[in-house]
A = this chain, B = another copy of it.
Amino acid sequence: MASKQELEKYLNIIKESNFNEKCPIKDALEVIGGKWKLNILGQLLRKEVCRFNQLKRDISGITNTMLSNSLRELENDELIIRNQYNEMPVRVEYTLTDRGRNLLPLLYELTIWWDDYKNNKENSK
């Protein structure tokens, strides 16, 4: 839990942020939004490197279309890197960028935040 002083600092920063128009938080959420992107990032966090069909097998329910679209968007946002090897047949490997890996602490804190709440709810029953 953050100290009161830290919270104060955060608050000032947030206050300066404009939630109405383009704000960094919304931009950031947009990048990891969508139905499948967290799944993809999760797989790449675990395996370091992964191929197209590997991802498709591991992410239950995803279609070619969505996997393809999501990967392209993640690449454009520089969360992942696409490496193509022109062998026969073609081999393509996806890995996380530093930016992608830096999401890790954030995802961790989101988990904590969520679990804290659920635990409190359980206890108060």
Residues from chain B with a CB closer than 8 A to the CB of A20 are: 39, 59-61
Q: How far is the CA of A89 from the CA of B93 in the complex (A)?
A: 63
Q: A25 near B114 (CB under 8 angstroms)?
A: yes
Q: How far is the CA of A109 from the CA of B105 in the complex (A)?
A: 9
Q: B7 near A105 (CB under 8 angstroms)?
A: yes
Per-residue B-contact encoding for A18-42, CB less than 8 Å = 1, 0 else? 0110011111110011000011011
Per-residue B-contact encoding for A66-82, CB less than 8 Å = 1, 0 else? 00000000000010000
Q: Which of A43-97 contact B (CB under 8 A)?
A: 43, 45-46, 59-61, 78
Q: B13 near A38 (CB under 8 angstroms)?
A: no
Q: B104 near A10 (CB under 8 angstroms)?
A: yes
A positions within 8 Å CB-CB of B: 1-2, 6-7, 10-11, 13-15, 17, 19-20, 23-29, 32-33, 38-39, 41-43, 45-46, 59-61, 78, 99, 101-111, 113-117
